[in-house]
């Protein structure tokens, strides 16, 4: 019983996910079109497992997408926006360099003005840190409900290998008391070091990366460390989880890191979204989690491990409750958003993503 | 002049050592060497091609002595493009033979993974003539591709014939604990790999990796029990590729070989332990022809029969931490002849080591003999 006591004593165990929401823009660009344009080796598409990516339209950005995902999350949660005491937006593509995105989204959702609200930046895991902080605020009794959003219109240097995957999308989570939750947190840990694997300098349009350095010393080291730390603290093994969701810079990395950690493919595939929508950066792992929650059953245990360059990884264990069933149908599911698509050309992509610079 | 010997060797595994800087790599092989010889050398030579460009360090040899806590030791850095390692060996044996020092430690070191590959490749292209070739976007792989195309046209060699080279190199590297690419490849995989510069594919080209190797060159009195004699070294330069009559020849290698071959007693070259420079598959093949192991245009056929050819996997699969490569060639040969290496033991008398820079802009040979 000591184990059980240890788990219950974790503050995050008093908190859970009440509602979740997703947004994926309709436009899709085929990876083969990008590869063809720049003369990439066709085999790279298979090696990365990337088929197509979602592209935000000219009138979409991290705020509009984040708002949509948050709206769905609040609908699923069934809470009064006036009772939400914190709104955090994790993004690395905020429309304003100075001026919070979170305030725009919060007001558009009629969230109470008596709140904490800020944009967060930690490459692809700022939204995940927002989720951790919102959870801590609920656990401490500072707020009743919190809203954490990950939303990005990720930039990629034209012709860089990242252009195959860098895409747009958003995911949002309403957290609150565990008694009201569709899925309760069992434990959360985070592992962070100074690892310069990927970065974008101030005023630079596009990020740069350290190629192979983004793999073993960054993605794999951080995720494996955080997940092992979590399993050790909770006394859990890969067999104890029904699903494992990892950050998805491409389709292959989550499968590979899962294999290294001892998770079979079948537990990872349900949370995979990147091959069909690309890497949505701050929404990447959180959209994978949303996809799993869309069809999860009460009692199931989910591992989610986002990763952000720079670098850090969170690992969370989540247990689905009976309340999930009624909430699954209340908002668009990730699979529906993935299926809702129209193909565009690279030229239309260039226009949508403001790659064509013109004076207006 | 007195004789010069290779009395001890050390190697690190080649790879992407993200946690090791150039000084750490130097320290690894130096610590190994100190353990083996139990004393300090009286001269330090560091071969490093890119230390100034990739790690921003000039005079890396003196900085190395500071890092190692050595003082009152002469030190020098040697850089001759891709042959830096053998150039350092060449210098070391002259120093020993002259009597200026009795134990010269030669360290080859390269830190290649500090930057993304576009910078590494750009710096690598600086082994060619900067004003004439580099600024016109000519790179070593594009030259190698021209040479391979011409070789295939002139001698009717097929893509699969050339693939004999990487297939053998990868097979050898599987047994080399210090190799960067320890996996076998098939001819099909070579042909289907990503194109680097048509017809050269990824599996015709060396990988980018960090590494360090050390060789102790001594005179007779400081010679260890297990030693190889450095019979002779030879070096030559050649005109740029665009001024050559026949780009399928390696003129610097041929010139160096001409001055060396009379020192090799009447033993069959195909039975000598060989290390040749194969930054790209085609160059390994041309090197065999340049030293007369095969007739022009026929080297692909002899590759499978050469048991002691690039036993560590060559630049192709062992890896090519550029300034260190020549010393890996020497260290592997030393172990092959005295201790056994990569699952093989060579019982013969001689070993020939070939190193060249770019399209044979300079070539260096070392002839070693069992003592």
Give the tens place of pLDDT for each residue, B76-122: 999 999 999 999 999 999 999 999 999 999 999 999 999 999 999 99
Q: Which are the contacts of B112, defined by CB distance < 8 A and separation ≥ 6?
A: B50, B54, B120, B208, B209, B210, B321, B322
Mean pLDDT of chain B: 96
Residue A2 has a pLDDT of 45
Residue A41 has a pLDDT of 86
Residue B355 has a pLDDT of 98
SS3 category, B107: strand
H/E stretch holding B266: none
Residue A160 has a pLDDT of 95
Mean pLDDT of chain A: 96
Mean pLDDT of B145-166: 98
Residue A170 has a pLDDT of 98
Residue A314 has a pLDDT of 98
Mean pLDDT of B308-315: 98
Residue B266 neighbours by CB distance under 10 Å: 4
H/E stretch holding B370: strand B362-370
CA distances from A139 to A11, A144, B262 (A): 6, 9, 84
The angle formed by the CA atoms of residues B38, B177 and B197, to the nearest 5 degrees, is 125
Residue A13 has a pLDDT of 96
B18 vs A43, A209, A217: nearest CB: A217
Pure H helices in B83-224 = 84-98, 117-124, 140-155, 159-162, 164-173, 187-192
The answer on pLDDT for B297 being more than 60 is yes
What is the C-alpha separation between B142 and B196, in angstroms, rounded? Answer: 8
Nearest of B287, B264, B257 to residue B351 by alpha carbon: B264
Instruction: Give residue for tokens 């226009």.
Output: A351
Tell me if B273 is assigned to some domain: no
Q: Which residues of A touch B203 (CB under 8 A)?
A: none
Instruction: Tell me if ipTM is over 0.85.
Output: no
> Which of A211, A216, A220 is the best mutation test for B, with the most CBs of B within 10 A?
A211
Beta partners for residue A308, in sequence order: A312
B119 touches A at CB < 8 Å: no
> What is the value of pTM for the model shown?
0.87
Instruction: Tell me the CB-side half-sphere exposure of residue B52, using CA atoms within 13 A.
Output: 9
What is the C-alpha separation between A82 and A65, in angstroms, rounded? Answer: 21
Tell me if B277 is assigned to some domain: no
Residue B271 has a pLDDT of 80
Contact A279, A248 (CB under 8 A): yes
Mean pLDDT of A140-151: 98
Tell me if B33 is assigned to some domain: yes
Mean pLDDT of A40-68: 95
Q: Which residues of A touch B18 (CB under 8 A)?
A: 213, 216-217
H/E stretch holding B235: strand B228-237
Residue B266 has a pLDDT of 61
Residue A1: band (very low, low, confident or very high) from pLDDT cuts 50, 70, 90: very low
The answer on pLDDT for A6 being more than 90 is no
Q: CATH code at B34?
A: 3.40.47.10
Instruction: Tell me the CB-side half-sphere exposure of residue A35, using CA atoms within 13 A.
Output: 20
Mean pLDDT of B297-317: 96
Over residues A189-232, the pLDDT tens digits come to 999 999 999 999 999 999 999 998 999 999 999 999 999 999 99
B117 touches A at CB < 8 Å: yes
Q: Which are the contacts of A226, defined by CB distance < 8 A and separation ≥ 6?
A: A189, A190, A191, A305, A312, A313, A314, A315
Q: How far is B115 from chain A (nearest CA, A)?
A: 7
DSSP code at position B329: H
Q: Which domains does chain A have, with CATH numbers?
A: 10-348 (3.40.47.10)
If one counts the domains in chain B, the total is 1
Tell me if B304 is assigned to some domain: no
What is the C-alpha separation between B152 and B161, in angstroms, rounded? Answer: 9
Residue A8 has a pLDDT of 56
Catalytic residue among A12, A51, A52, A92: A92
Tell me if B31 is assigned to some domain: yes
Q: Could you confirm whether A247 is annotated as catalytic? A: yes
Residue B265 has a pLDDT of 67
Name the more confident of B84 and A360. Answer: B84
Mean pLDDT of B304-323: 97
Over residues A245-278, the pLDDT tens digits come to 999 999 999 999 999 999 999 999 999 999 999 9
Q: Could you confirm whether A124 is annotated as catalytic? A: yes
Tell me if B105 is assigned to some domain: yes
A41 vs B116, B117, B194: nearest CB: B194
B117 vs A43, A211, A216: nearest CB: A211
Q: How far is A204 from chain B (nearest CA, A)?
A: 18
Contact B173, B313 (CB under 8 A): yes
Residue B331 has a pLDDT of 98
Residue B270 has a pLDDT of 76
Nearest of A284, A333, A323 to residue A306 by alpha carbon: A284
Over residues B195-233, the pLDDT tens digits come to 999 999 999 999 999 999 999 999 999 999 999 999 999
For chain B, give the percent of residues with pLDDT over 70: 99
Q: What chain A residue is nearest to B202 in terms of C-alpha separation? A: A41
Domain that holds residue B72: 5-116+208-218
Instruction: Please judge whether A213 and B16 are an interchain contact, meaning their C-beta atoms are less than 8 angstroms apart.
Output: yes
H/E stretch holding B66: helix B60-68
Mean pLDDT of A104-118: 98
What is the C-alpha separation between B64 and B301, in angstroms, rounded? Answer: 45
For chain A, give the percent of residues with pLDDT over 70: 98
Instruction: Tell me the CB-side half-sphere exposure of residue A336, using CA atoms within 13 A.
Output: 11
Residue B267: band (very low, low, confident or very high) from pLDDT cuts 50, 70, 90: low
Residue B320 has a pLDDT of 98
B194 touches A at CB < 8 Å: yes
N-terminal to C-terminal alpha carbon distance within chain A = 68
Q: Could you confirm whether A92 is annotated as catalytic? A: yes
């Amino acid at each position: 019983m000591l184990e059980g006591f240890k788990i219950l004593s974790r503050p995050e165990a008093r908190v859970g996910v009440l509602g979740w929401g997703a947004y994926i823009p309709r436009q899709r660009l085929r990876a083969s079109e990008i590869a063809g344009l720049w003369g990439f080796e066709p085999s790279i598409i298979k090696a990365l497992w990337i088929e197509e990516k979602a592209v935000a339209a000219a009138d979409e950005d991290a705020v509009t997408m984040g708002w949509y995902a948050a709206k769905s999350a609040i609908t699923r949660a069934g809470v009064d926006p006036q009772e939400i005491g914190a709104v955090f937006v994790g993004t690395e593509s905020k429309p304003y360099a100075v001026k919070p995105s979170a305030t725009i989204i919060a007001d558009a959702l009629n969230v109470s003005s008596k709140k904490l609200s800020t944009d967060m930046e930690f490459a692809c895991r700022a939204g995940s840190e927002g989720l951790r902080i919102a959870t801590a605020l609920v656990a401490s009794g500072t707020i009743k409900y919190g809203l954490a959003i990950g939303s990005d219109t990720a930039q990629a240097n034209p012709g860089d290998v990242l252009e195959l995957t860098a895409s747009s999308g958003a995911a949002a989570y309403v957290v609150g008391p565990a008694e009201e939750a569709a899925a309760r947190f069992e434990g959360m840990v985070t592992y962070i070091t100074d690892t310069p694997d990927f970065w974008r300098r101030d005023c630079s349009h596009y990020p740069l990366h350290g190629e192979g350095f983004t793999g073993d010393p960054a993605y794999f080291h951080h995720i494996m460390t955080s997940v092992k730390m979590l399993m050790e603290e909770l006394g859990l093994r890969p067999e104890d989880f029904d699903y494992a969701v990892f950050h998805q810079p491409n389709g292959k990395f989550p499968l590979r890191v899962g294999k290294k950690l001892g998770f079979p493919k079948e537990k990872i595939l349900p949370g995979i979204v990147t091959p069909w929508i690309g890497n949505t950066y701050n929404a990447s792992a959180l959209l994978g989690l949303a996809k799993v929650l869309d069809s999860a059953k009460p009692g199931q245990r989910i591992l989610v491990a986002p990763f952000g360059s720079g670098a850090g990884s969170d690992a969370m264990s989540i247990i689905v409750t009976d309340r999930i069933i009624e909430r699954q149908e209340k908002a668009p599911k990730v699979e529906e958003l993935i299926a809702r698509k129209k193909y565009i050309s690279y030229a239309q992509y260039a226009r949508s993503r403001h790659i064509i610079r013109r004076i207006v | 002049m007195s004789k010069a010997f290779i009395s001890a060797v050390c190697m690190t595994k080649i790879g992407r050592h993200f946690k090791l800087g150039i000084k750490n790599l130097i320290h690894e092989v130096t610590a190994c060497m100190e353990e083996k010889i139990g004393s300090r050398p009286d001269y330090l030579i560091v071969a490093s091609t890119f230390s100034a460009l990739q790690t921003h360090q000039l005079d890396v040899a003196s900085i190395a002595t500071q890092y190692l806590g050595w003082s009152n030791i002469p030190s020098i850095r040697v850089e001759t493009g891709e042959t830096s390692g053998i150039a350092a060996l060449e210098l070391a044996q002259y120093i020993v033979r002259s009597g200026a020092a009795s134990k010269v430690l030669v360290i080859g070191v390269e830190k290649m993974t500090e930057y993304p590959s576009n910078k590494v490749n750009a710096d690598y292209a600086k082994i060619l003539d900067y004003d004439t070739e580099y600024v016109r976007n000519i790179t070593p792989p594009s030259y190698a591709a021209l040479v391979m195309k011409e070789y295939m046209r002139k001698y009717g060699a097929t893509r699969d014939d050339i693939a004999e080279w990487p297939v053998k190199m990868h097979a050898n590297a599987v047994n080399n604990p210090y190799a960067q690419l320890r996996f076998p490849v098939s001819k099909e995989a070579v042909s289907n790999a990503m194109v680097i510069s048509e017809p050269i594919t990824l599996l015709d080209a060396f990988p980018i990796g960090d590494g360090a190797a050390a060789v102790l060159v001594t005179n007779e009195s400081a010679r260890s029990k297990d030693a190889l004699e450095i019979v002779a070294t030879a070096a030559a330069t050649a005109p740029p590729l665009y001024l050559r009559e026949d780009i399928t020849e390696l003129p610097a290698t041929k010139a160096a070989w001409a001055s060396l071959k009379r020192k090799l007693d009447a033993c069959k070259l195909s039975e000598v332990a060989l290390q040749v420079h194969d930054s790209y598959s085609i160059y390994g093949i041309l090197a065999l022809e340049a030293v007369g192991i095969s007739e022009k245009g026929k080297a692909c056929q002899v590759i499978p029969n050469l048991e002691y050819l690039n036993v560590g996997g060559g630049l192709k699969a062992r890896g090519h931490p550029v300034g260190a490569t020549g010393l890996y060639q020497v260290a592997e040969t030393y172990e092959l002849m005295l201790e056994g290496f990569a699952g093989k033991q060579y019982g013969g008398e001689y070993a020939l080591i070939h190193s060249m820079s770019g399209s044979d802009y300079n070539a260096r040979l070392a002839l070693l003999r069992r003592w």
